[in-house]
């Protein structure tokens, strides 16, 4: 019995794994000498048992330790990451990515960690590449982008080479409709470790578990959230704030005594809408929608969702004192052309 089979047996018996055991599991999962079948059995057993917050925190530490260092220490202490787990199958526009553009245009340091589309038609990396930012930059170029534009995008495959030998088992499990810890781990292993984070999850029961995992992992400050969707037959929740129902928000780290409640569009001074108003599409469609929002012609419901997510981010980094002021600031940045100007400057820089 190899080490991974041993830990599969332990998790089948509902035993919690400590850090050293998780480290052994990680080494086996990234090895090309362990079979796909053995990896799948372990991941399935762990998922069936239910990953505890401490186990997830151990995986975060292990995979961060294996990641390429982007050398952004000069920025990480006051930077934020905004991302979601995906997996909600809502087909919405790239709200967290556009939100990151708004924040960066205001002077907030954003270190975004993401990938190409997996569960949607257009992932964060797809849109970021389309606005002109190359995905495979050298560390010096990433630092230059932070200095000039308050923005860095860390393309997950470029910073997590260890995932190369995990990809086949993830694909195999996906074909069977099976989930594993890797469905939620990605947003929590930003190799730059920015101080602040807004993390959306596809399932309401995950909100507290992910919050506790980030707490155990020592993440400094931020919010884990889930947006419940009202009056829709198929879509019940998404991994971002929306004006389509009640939003569950759990703080962690130094923000743990602040907001911990359900918030609706009304709490942001905005109006409710149906989930259809947030609809996105493929890359071309999402670029079209982005340009409409920038020009003030986008769907009101979508813009309200963007404003809500910006407002919470501004609150997390202490740029504003309340949600209403955050909405006003984000609205001004879009309406006065600051975000559009920022995007044009970024594009011009990388065309050189």
Farthest CA pair distance, the chain: 64
SS3 34: coil
Q: Which residue has the tokens 């850090």?
A: 19
How many C-beta neighbours within 10 Å does residue 294 have? 18
Residue 151, CB half-sphere, CA atoms under 13 Å: how many? 27
End-to-end Cα spacing for the chain: 56
% helix / strand / coil in the chain, to the nearest 5?
50, 10, 35
Concatenated DSSP letters of 216-241: HHT--EEEEEEEE--S-SS--EESS-
Rounded distance, CA 306 to CA 242, Å?
A: 8
d(CA 80, CA 316): 9
Ordered structural domains, the chain, with CATH: 3-50 (no CATH), 73-155+192-351 (3.40.1030.10)
CA triplet 192, 135, 222: central angle to 5 degrees?
A: 35
Q: What is the pTM of this model?
A: 0.94
How confident is the model over 83-108, as pLDDT tens digits? 988 876 777 899 999 999 999 999 99
SS3 for 48-110 is HHCCCHHHHHHHHHHHHHHCCCCCCHHHHCCEEEEEECCCCCCCECCHHHHHHHHHHHCCCEE
**What does DSSP assign to residue 87?**
-
Would you state the structure tokens that stand for residue 63, as one six-digit string?
Answer: 């995979």
Residue with tokens 């931020």: 222
- DSSP states of 154-213: EEHHHH-GGGGGTHHHHHHHHHTT---THHHHGGG--TT--SEEEEE-SSTTHHHHHHHH
Token look-up 């955050």 returns 326
Both structure tokens of 201 = 């999850």
The mean pLDDT values, 10 residues at a time, for the chain of 352 residues are: 87 97 97 95 96 97 97 97 82 92 98 81 90 95 97 96 93 88 94 96 93 91 94 88 96 70 94 92 94 94 97 96 97 98 96 80
> SS3 for 253?
strand
**188: its two tokens:** 């929590």
Partnered with residue 279 across adjacent β-strands are: 92
């Amino acid at each position: 019995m190899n080490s991974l089979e041993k830990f599969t047996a332990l998790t089948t018996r509902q035993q919690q794994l400590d850090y050293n055991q998780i480290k052994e599991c990680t080494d086996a999962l990234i090895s090309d000498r362990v079979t796909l079948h053995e990896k799948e059995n372990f991941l399935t057993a762990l998922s069936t048992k239910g990953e505890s917050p401490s186990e997830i925190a151990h995986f975060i530490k292990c995979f961060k330790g294996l990641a390429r260092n982007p050398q952004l220490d000069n920025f990480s202490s006051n930077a934020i990451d905004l991302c979601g787990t995906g997996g909600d199958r809502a087909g919405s526009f790239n709200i967290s990515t556009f939100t990151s553009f708004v924040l960066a245009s205001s002077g907030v340091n954003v270190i975004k960690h993401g990938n190409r589309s997996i569960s949607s038609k257009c992932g964060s990396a797809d849109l970021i590449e389309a606005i002109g930012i190359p995905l495979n930059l050298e560390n010096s170029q990433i630092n230059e982008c932070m200095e000039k534009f308050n923005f860095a995008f860390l393309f997950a495959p470029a910073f997590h080479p260890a995932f190369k030998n995990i990809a086949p088992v993830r694909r195999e499990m996906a074909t069977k409709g099976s989930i594993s810890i890797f469905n939620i781990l990605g947003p929590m292993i930003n190799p730059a470790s920015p101080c602040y984070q807004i993390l959306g999850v596809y399932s309401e029961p995950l909100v507290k578990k992910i919050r506790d995992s980030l707490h155990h992992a020592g993440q400094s400050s931020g919010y884990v959230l889930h947006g419940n969707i009202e009056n829709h037959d198929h879509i019940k929740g998404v991994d971002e704030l929306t004006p389509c129902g009640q939003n569950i928000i759990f703080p962690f780290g130094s923000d743990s005594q602040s907001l911990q409640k359900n918030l609706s569009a009304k709490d942001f001074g905005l109006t409710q809408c149906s989930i259809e108003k947030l609809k996105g599409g493929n890359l071309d469609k999402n670029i079209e929608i982005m340009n409409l929002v920038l020009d003030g012609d986008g769907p009101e419901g979508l813009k309200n969702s963007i404003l809500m997510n910006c407002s919470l981010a501004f609150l997390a980094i202490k740029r504003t004192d309340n949600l209403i002021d955050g909405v006003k600031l984000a609205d001004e940045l879009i309406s006065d052309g600051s975000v559009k100007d920022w995007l044009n400057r970024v594009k011009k820089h990388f065309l050189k």
